[in-house]
Amino acid sequence: SYSDYLDAIQDELAKDNAINDDFYDVINTELGVKAEIMFYVQAPRSQKRLKKLTRTTAPDIDNLLKAALDGIFRGLEVKDSRVVLVSMGKFQEMENPRTEIVLRGIE
């Protein structure tokens, strides 16, 4: 379920000690935050090799963004509205599907 997915994000953040003083320093930057997000989504199992690096099928990139931000900010007093600029990409991955996120304060 979606709730389980958000819990899994929280578990990963806790394991990596990602919600720390540095996180709050960035999140509380006066002008807001830029999120740089790369989604490496699992290629279909039936596909033996990548024909194209980019993926234009579901899930839509806007839904991936919403889920990633919901997962990061779940249960925090600070909200994802601090993110005012986003750059992102979505690619197929055979071996290591993942999401990579960098949050930067806007100076």
pLDDT tens, position by position, for the chain (107 residues)?
A: 999 999 999 999 999 999 999 999 999 999 999 999 999 998 877 777 766 666 666 689 999 999 999 999 999 999 999 999 999 999 888 889 999 999 999 98
Q: H or E stretch including 75?
A: none
Q: Identify the pLDDT of residue 43.
A: 81
CATH number for region 2-105: 3.30.1330
Nearest CA to 42 among 91, 79, 3? 91
Which phi and psi angles does 64 have, rounded to 5°?
-65, -45
Contact 92, 43 (CB under 8 A): yes
Specify the pLDDT at position 45: 74
Q: In what order do the strands lie in the sheet with 98-105?
A: 83-93, 33-42, 98-105
pTM score: 0.85
CA 32/CA 34 separation, integer angstroms: 7
